[in-house]
Amino acid sequence: MHAIQFRPHATALAVLSVLALAACGGNGSSAGNENSSAAPLVIPAEPVGTGAAETADAPTGVLAYVDTGATNQRNNPCQVTLETNAGVRVLKGFLDMWEPLTRKVDAGVTLAAANGCDAVTASLWSGVPGTTPDGTVTSATLHAANIDYVKSVTQGRTVAQALAAYMDDRRGKGFSVSDGMGPLTSVWRAGTGQTSTIVAPADPNAAVSPAVSEAGNNLGDKTSAALAQAVSFIDSSNIVDGSTEPAKRFYKYARPYRWSSDVVVVPSLESAKSSTPATDGGFPSGHTAEAWRDVLPMAYLFPQRFQELLTRAMEMGENRILAGMHSPLDVMGGRVQATAVVAYSLNKTSMDKAATYKLVQDYLMAQTGTSDFNALLDKARTPVTSDTSSVNYDRFADYATNKSYFAKRLTYNLPKITANAGKAATVPKGAEILLETRLPYLTAAQRRVVLKTTEIDSGYPLANDEEGWGRLDLFSAADGYGAFNGDVAVTMDASLGGFHARDSWKNDIAGAGKLSKLGSGMLRLAGSNSYSGGTLIVEGTLAADSVSALGKGDVFMKGGKFECAAPGALLIGGAYTQTAGILDLVLSDAAKGVLKVSGTATLGGGSLQVRFAGYTPKLGDTLNVITAGKLAGSFSSVSVSGFSKITTTYTATGVQIRLDGV
């Protein structure tokens, strides 16, 4: 068949004459299609989608955390209010449930007048609920659910959970969360120089007096360790601007064991309770915030464990609740505030982010004997031991478990605030930097849209700050778009390596937009997708790992490779058109990895190759590789792995291949 350049017009169809049916590859032959003897082949127009990309501009008229993070202080009388303190303001959604005694950073804080601002007098809040004067519960339903969760989990806590809660309480947070590195934990700790002196108690349910306190280089060595630069990079998110103390002293909300005697603190942590409740507020959780301030920079430097590390930070919050020290809203607040703090730090830092990233990647490759990013990724996600006591045991090896665990603890299924629900998504200024190394092939504007399309609803507690920090779901964002509300063009340059060369989007993608695959890299789609704007494959590889990977629209292939490895027949909701490139069907069964096209399959050239995975057909078998509402045209060549002689038959509604010889 002649090589023809197809240039469809938006308002007209290209009409071509089929000169002859293509011969199969190798020693194969081709059988005719009764509907294509001499009829002109009509090549449909490419999918049009919405005609424009979606945007996610930062909200206007709002003070951005990345611009004002330095105001998160408690030693300046000019920074003690909701309006003047960024660390307080980012958590303003808490006011939907609780009105503090005063709206000032004044719990145990006395400040002289300075910088033209009035003096601050220490609050009279006692820190003990029911003691007058106190704050006011403004949503009894939400408050009850918040404390009831703590009662339930602390009363049903296992010995193993008590031990985990004890260790996360006493150890330095940087050391604790580093086991989110899974098989590379010992390598990471050696490279950073992390140490800890905390020893697990023989019985966490026995009182320890006094409670053991951490000592040791628990974040790492910033001077002589191999990864000293990385330690400094992570530590930059733990500067004074990141403290939770201003918010604690503003919101003045008691710890759960002070709200209810039914909350059972881990016995070995009883002596760790503060004896000064008026300066010991529970909201937000400092331990949780510190864990997130450590984990997010780690995930930036080592995105091969991005979701596993985030799950570990989420576990730190859960362990604070299991300890009896904090409530769900406390740990949610710690996460939200820390996320804003790290974005602020990454945007502000004077450190060379690219050089620090390269240092970590190069060091871990050298220590693991791997040669590139993706080999290191495979190493980082391959369990090395089943011994749960090993430092390198990977508690976060199962993706589905991580996803479920994380999703529940984004909101703890707390009651929604109806008045806040259903608001349009907002993405904070500068938040896209958190995905910079995880989705490096997307533009900053596209990463903002990813954050926008994976956000949680505004009705959940803490999810209604003006910027949107409380709505971010970074676990889901790491899996790509949640919707194509506009057209999305993905350009991946495989020569850059890493996720540029190979990535997978696992979200269920909705929307009316179109996906265009450009560049030499490989993008795999694994979700249950319903986007309807169509799919255009131009360069590189687009792979379908689910039966609905390409949504409900038309699919147009004009170059590159389209790999189908679906665990069933891949459903094309509209038409399928191919004018060039390679259709690569990976069959795991006679009916798995094949194409099922609802509309017309138009074959105006390009190649078909069939491979097998865990399935070996026998000589003489006929494979129905494409079924369609209607079929027109043929491939330029057809080949089947392991079979040199085949017969390809083009029927009115599909393509069949008979295996004639090896």
pLDDT over threshold 50, residue 336: yes
The answer to whether residue 422 sits within a structural domain is: yes
**Omega before 133 within 30 of 0, i.e. cis:** yes
The answer to whether residue 145 sits within a structural domain is: yes
Region 641-656: mean pLDDT is: 98
- pLDDT for the residue 96: 97
| pTM (whole model) above 0.75 | yes
pLDDT over threshold 80, residue 437: yes
Based on the fold, state whether residues 448 and 489 are members of the same structural domain.
no
Based on the fold, state whether residues 448 and 503 are members of the same structural domain.
no
- pLDDT for the residue 255: 98
Based on the fold, state whether residues 73 and 40 are members of the same structural domain.
no
Q: Where are the beta strands (DSSP E) in 531-636?
A: 535-537, 541-544, 555-564, 570-572, 576-587, 595-604, 607-612, 622-634
Among residues 356, 57, 335, the alpha carbon closest in space to that of 230 is found at 356
Contact 314, 408 (CB under 8 A): no
Region 31-38: mean pLDDT is: 53
With cut-offs at 50, 70 and 90, classify the pLDDT of residue 31: low
Return the axis-axis angle of helices 353-368 and 373-380, rounded to nearest 10°.
60
Region 156-176: mean pLDDT is: 97
Pull the structure tokens for residue 147.
């404390």
**Omega before 284 within 30 of 0, i.e. cis:** yes
- DSSP assignments along 37-72, one per residue: SSPEEEEPPPP-TTSS----PPPTTS--HHHHGGG-
- How many structural domains comprise the chain? 2
Residue that is last in its domain, among 453, 475, 493: 453
pLDDT over threshold 70, residue 540: yes
Region 563-586: mean pLDDT is: 98
Higher-confidence residue of 23 and 647: namely 647
The answer to whether residue 272 sits within a structural domain is: yes
Pull the structure tokens for residue 40.
């002109």
**Distance between CA atoms of residues 261 and 266, nearest Å:** 13
Helix (H) or strand (E) holding 259: helix 256-259
Q: For the purposes of burial, counting CB atoms within 10 Å of the CB of 37, is it exposed (0-12), middle (13-18) or buried (19 or more)?
A: exposed
The answer to whether residue 464 sits within a structural domain is: no
pLDDT tens-digit profile of 74-90? 999 999 999 999 999 99
Based on the fold, state whether residues 22 and 145 are members of the same structural domain.
no
CB atoms near residue 420 (< 10 Å): 16
Based on the fold, state whether residues 449 and 524 are members of the same structural domain.
no
Based on the fold, state whether residues 150 and 236 are members of the same structural domain.
yes
pLDDT tens-digit profile of 203-250? 999 988 888 889 999 999 999 999 999 999 999 877 658 999 999 999
Half-sphere exposure for 134 (CA within 13 Å, toward CB): 17
Kindly state the percentage of the chain with pLDDT values over 70: 94
- pLDDT for the residue 2: 34
Region 451-456: mean pLDDT is: 98
Among residues 581, 642, 634, 595, the alpha carbon closest in space to that of 615 is found at 642
The answer to whether residue 476 sits within a structural domain is: no
pLDDT over threshold 60, residue 5: no
The answer to whether residue 193 sits within a structural domain is: yes
The answer to whether residue 59 sits within a structural domain is: no
Q: For the purposes of burial, counting CB atoms within 10 Å of the CB of 362, is it exposed (0-12), middle (13-18) or buried (19 or more)?
A: exposed
Based on the fold, state whether residues 419 and 306 are members of the same structural domain.
yes
pLDDT over threshold 90, residue 8: no
Higher-confidence residue of 491 and 25: namely 491
Based on the fold, state whether residues 413 and 301 are members of the same structural domain.
yes
Based on the fold, state whether residues 251 and 286 are members of the same structural domain.
yes
pLDDT tens-digit profile of 308-334? 999 999 999 999 999 999 999 999 999
Based on the fold, state whether residues 539 and 583 are members of the same structural domain.
yes
Based on the fold, state whether residues 97 and 25 are members of the same structural domain.
no
**Distance between CA atoms of residues 504 and 544, nearest Å:** 10
Residue that is last in its domain, among 453, 474, 505: 453
Region 186-213: mean pLDDT is: 93
Region 142-150: mean pLDDT is: 98
With cut-offs at 50, 70 and 90, classify the pLDDT of residue 168: very high
Based on the fold, state whether residues 369 and 509 are members of the same structural domain.
no
pLDDT over threshold 80, residue 23: no
Pull the structure tokens for residue 619.
């000589």
Q: What is the dihedral of CA 330, 332, 335, 339, to 10 degrees?
A: -120
- pLDDT for the residue 191: 98
CB atoms near residue 112 (< 10 Å): 9
The domain that contains 154 carries what CATH number?
1.20.144.10
The answer to whether residue 43 sits within a structural domain is: yes
Structural domain range at position 635: 14-50+484-661
- pLDDT for the residue 14: 36
